[in-house]
Amino acid sequence: MKHSAFTATGKGAALSSPSQVSGLEPSLAEVGDYVALMKPRVMSLAVFTAFVGMIVAPGEVHPVLAIAALVCIAVGAGAAGALNMWYDADIDGVMGRTRRRPIPAGRVTPGEAFAFGVTLAVGSVAVLGLVAGWLAAGLLAFTIFFYIVVYTMWLKRWTAQNIVIGGAAGALPPVIGWAAATGDVGLAPILLFLIVFFWTPPHFWALSLRRTDEYRRANVPMLPVVSGAAETKRQVLAHALLLAPISVTPFLFGYAGLLYGIAATIVGVAMAVLAVRLKIARSDIAAYEAGKRLFSFSLLYLFILFAVLLIDDWLTPWMPWMPRLTFG
């Protein structure tokens, strides 16, 4: 049986659905759309680096509390992603790689995305504070705030250094994981922060070189748009050359073993070589391919570093002869 409603005057103007009575349109969003709002790829990187930071920290964390903390970090990262998509919906609708996201595609309304993001942010910070301490929760809250307010609302639209400064948000998860495990922050997690921080610019600039026209059309002042391809290539190489020795610092400072030191040296040199190839590429086609290879390898780079750091930590009790000082 169909439902009907009548006007206050009793003239019998029937409405086609209950949603029209309240003036609200039914949501077209599905579960997958809300998952997409959370940027699962970015979230997975945040969770992985936070997990490594938690595991290599001194002491032990109860498995239940560790899992709860990681879930909170994942939800907090998802909240940042959802709020980023809410604010950047105008940009996403212009760019080819983002126009199919839930908001510009019309499957999720901006209001729904905002409410979803705020709910996740508040909930993740509150629960993390209860299960892992308020230092970790405060760092998570600061990360979300920095990513949304400082990077998304300010830096991204106003300066070509948006990725350089904004990279601090993506570099904080290993520090949050460490703080969740220990209740404090020392030099070791700061070194992990610096690795991700200096990794971010060459990673994103390699991508932006291939998307310059889209960023220009969206009026986003990415470095290739503002300073051109040649300067961007130079900056990519400079940051790759800085990243290589910084990635080795956990070994140099005695916080990781020889296995990590060798792996960090190899991938650091490989990253620098790819940056050199991008720098010397003459044709647009050669530069496009060099940038594509650098971007792809940069994803592998961070995974290798943190995976080897984790393996190095696990192997320590079985390899006491290997040169290594524990974190702490």
Nearest residue to 188 (alpha-carbon basis) of 325, 45, 304, 328 = 328
Written as tens digits, the pLDDT of the chain (328 aa) is: 333 332 333 333 333 333 332 334 556 778 899 999 999 999 999 999 999 999 999 888 899 999 999 999 999 999 999 999 999 999 999 998 889 999 999 999 999 999 999 999 999 999 999 999 999 999 999 999 999 999 999 999 999 999 999 999 999 999 999 999 999 999 999 999 999 999 999 999 999 999 999 999 999 999 999 999 999 999 999 999 999 999 999 999 988 988 999 999 999 999 999 999 999 998 888 988 999 999 999 999 999 999 999 998 887 666 554 555 444 4
**87 with 8: CB under 8 angstroms?**
no
Nearest residue to 131 (alpha-carbon basis) of 76, 170, 78 = 76
Q: Does domain 28-185 have CATH number 1.10.357.140?
A: yes
- Two tokens, residue 252: 């140099």
Q: Just give the CATH number of 186-328.
A: 1.20.120
Domain boundaries, the chain: 28-185, 186-328
